[in-house]
Structure 1
Amino acid sequence: MESPYARELHVAIGAVQAAARISQSVISADDKGVVEKADLSPVTVADFAIQALLTSTIHAAFPSDRFVGEESAAALRANPALLDRVWGLLQEHRDSPSCHIPDSPEQMCEMIDWCGSGAPDAAAPRVWVFDPIDGTKTFVRRQAYAINVALLAHGREVLGVVGCPTLPADVAGPATNDTRDPSGRGLVIFGVRGHGAYVRALLPDGDEDKAPVRRIEAHAATATAADLRAVSCYHLLDSGVDEAHKEVHARLGIADPGCDFLSWALRWVSLGLGLGNVTVWVYRKRERVGKIWDHAGAMMLFEEAGGKITDVDGKDIDLTVGRTMSANHGFVAAPRDLHDTVLKTVHEVLREQGKANLLA
Structure 2
Amino acid sequence: MKKNRGCFEEEKNVGLEALIKAAFLCHRVQKEMIGSRKGGIVEKTDRSPATVADYGAQAIICRILKDAFPNDPIVAEENSSLLIRPENQPLLELTVNSVEQTLGRKVGRQAVCDWIDLGSGQPDGRFWTLDPIDGTKGFLRLDQYAIALALIVEHKVQLGLLACPNLSFHSPVASCPMDNPEAASLSVAVAGEGAYLISLDRRQSIPLRVSSISDPRQVRLVESFEPSHTDHQTQQRILQGFENSLSPIRMDGQTKYSLLARGEADLYLRLPSPESSGYREKIWDHAAGSLIVEEAGGVVSDIHGQRLDFGRGKELSANQGIAASNGKIHQAVIEAIQRQLQL
Q: Which residue of 2 aligns with 1:75?
A: 82
Identical residues among aligned pairs (%): 28
- Deviation of the 1:109 alpha carbon: 1.6
Q: Give per-residue Cα distances to partners, 1:209-237, cap 9 Å, x unaligned.
A: xx2210113x35x5422553211125x32
**Which of residues 238, 241, 244 is equivalent to 1:248?**
238
Matches of 1:16 and 1:149, distance apart in 2? 8
- Deviation of the 1:314 alpha carbon: 2.1
Q: Give per-residue Cα distances to partners, 1:53-98, cap 9 Å, x unaligned.
A: 0000011111111101110100111133322221111111224xxx
CA contact (8 A) 2:161 2:187 kept: yes
Matches of 1:119 and 1:202, distance apart in 2? 30
- Deviation of the 1:296 alpha carbon: 0.9
Matches of 2:90 and 2:224, distance apart in 1? 35
Secondary structure of the 1:75 match is coil
**Which of residues 15, 18, 23 is equivalent to 1:15?**
18
Q: Give per-residue Cα distances to partners, 1:270-328, cap 9 Å, x unaligned.
A: 11111112122211222122111111111111101111111112222111222222221
Q: Which stretch shifts more, 276-285 or 59-68?
A: 276-285
Q: Which residue of 1 aligns with 2:208?
A: 216
**Which of residues 101, 106, 110 is equivalent to 1:106?**
110
CA 242–349 in structure 1, closer or farther in 2 if over 3 Å, else same: same
- Deviation of the 1:239 alpha carbon: 4.0
Matches of 2:245 and 2:146, distance apart in 1? 25
CA contact (8 A) 1:268 1:302 kept: yes
**Which of residues 320, 323, 333 is equivalent to 1:329?**
320
Matches of 2:244 and 2:256, distance apart in 1? 16
Matches of 1:32 and 1:162, distance apart in 2? 26
Matches of 1:142 and 1:294, distance apart in 2? 20
Q: Which runs of 5+ in 1 are unaligned?
A: 96-100, 352-358
CA contact (8 A) 1:157 1:297 kept: yes
CA contact (8 A) 1:34 1:44 kept: yes
Q: Give per-residue Cα distances to partners, 1:310-353, cap 9 Å, x unaligned.
A: 111222211122222222111112233432211011111222xx
- Deviation of the 1:103 alpha carbon: 5.0
Matches of 2:242 and 2:160, distance apart in 1? 30
State the one-letter code of the partner of 2:256: R
Secondary structure of the 2:305 match is coil
CA contact (8 A) 1:230 1:255 kept: no
Matches of 1:157 and 1:283, distance apart in 2? 23
Q: Which residue of 2 aligns with 1:91?
A: 100
Matches of 2:249 and 2:229, distance apart in 1? 18
State the one-letter code of the partner of 1:68: V
CA contact (8 A) 1:120 1:155 kept: no
Q: Which residue of 1 aligns with 2:175?
A: 180
Secondary structure of the 1:165 match is strand
RMSD: 2.1
State the one-letter code of the partner of 2:200: L
Secondary structure of the 1:51 match is helix
State the one-letter code of the partner of 1:72: N
Q: Which residue of 2 aligns with 1:278?
A: 267
Q: Which residue of 1 aligns with 2:227?
A: 237
Do residues 170 (structure 1) and 159 (structure 2) align? no
CA contact (8 A) 1:188 1:201 kept: yes
Secondary structure of the 2:329 match is helix
Do residues 295 (structure 1) and 286 (structure 2) align? yes
Matches of 1:43 and 1:160, distance apart in 2? 23
Q: Which residue of 2 aligns with 1:197?
A: 195
Q: Which runs of 5+ in 2 are unaligned?
A: none
Pairs aligned (count)? 328
Matches of 1:309 and 1:249, distance apart in 2? 18
State the one-letter code of the partner of 2:19: V
- Deviation of the 1:2 alpha carbon: 5.6
Q: Which residue of 1 aligns with 2:215?
A: 225
Do residues 142 (structure 1) and 142 (structure 2) align? yes
State the one-letter code of the partner of 1:280: L
State the one-letter code of the partner of 1:281: R
Secondary structure of the 1:315 match is coil
State the one-letter code of the partner of 1:228: V
Q: Which residue of 2 aligns with 1:98?
A: none
Matches of 1:102 and 1:281, distance apart in 2? 42
TM-score (norm 1): 0.85
State the one-letter code of the partner of 2:30: I
TM-score (norm 2): 0.89
